[in-house]
């Protein structure tokens, strides 16, 4: 999430919730909605009962970032892998 938040802020992307009854009309709208969803992911991740919602929001963000051309699918798949510094030690 920090990677995405940093880029949204660096690129000056506003946080805007899309109207659920309309279609996106621009790349900028997709990115603004993805930025809006980011706060929800961070909030829901703190509540184990909202694991499904967390995953759906993250999936939506990553799909929007891919469709908007910010990352390739391969890059997004790499983002989902655990960081070696935070993953459990491997048994020998």
In tens, the pLDDT along 50-76 reads 999 999 999 999 999 999 999 999 999
85 within domain boundaries: no
Number of domains in the chain: 1
Q: Which domain holds residue 11?
A: 2-79
User: Cα–Cα distance between 52 and 82 in angstroms, integer?
Assistant: 19
Which pLDDT score, from 0 to 100, does residue 56 have? 94
> Each residue of 35-51: pLDDT tens digit?
999 999 989 989 989 99
48 within domain boundaries: yes
Which pLDDT score, from 0 to 100, does residue 82 have? 78
The residue with greater pLDDT, 89 or 80, is 80
Q: Is the pLDDT of residue 31 over 70?
A: yes
36 within domain boundaries: yes
44 within domain boundaries: yes
* CB of 14 closer than 8 Å to CB of 35: yes
């Amino acid at each position: 999430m920090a990677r995405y938040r940093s880029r949204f802020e660096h690129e000056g992307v506003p946080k805007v919730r899309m109207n659920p009854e309309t279609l996106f009309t621009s790349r900028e709208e997709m990115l603004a909605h993805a930025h809006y969803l980011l706060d929800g992911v961070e909030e829901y991740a703190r509540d184990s009962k909202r694991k499904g919602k967390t995953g759906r929001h993250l999936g939506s963000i990553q799909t929007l970032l891919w469709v908007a051309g910010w990352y390739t699918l391969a890059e997004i798949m790499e983002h989902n892998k655990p960081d070696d510094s935070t993953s459990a030690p491997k048994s020998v």
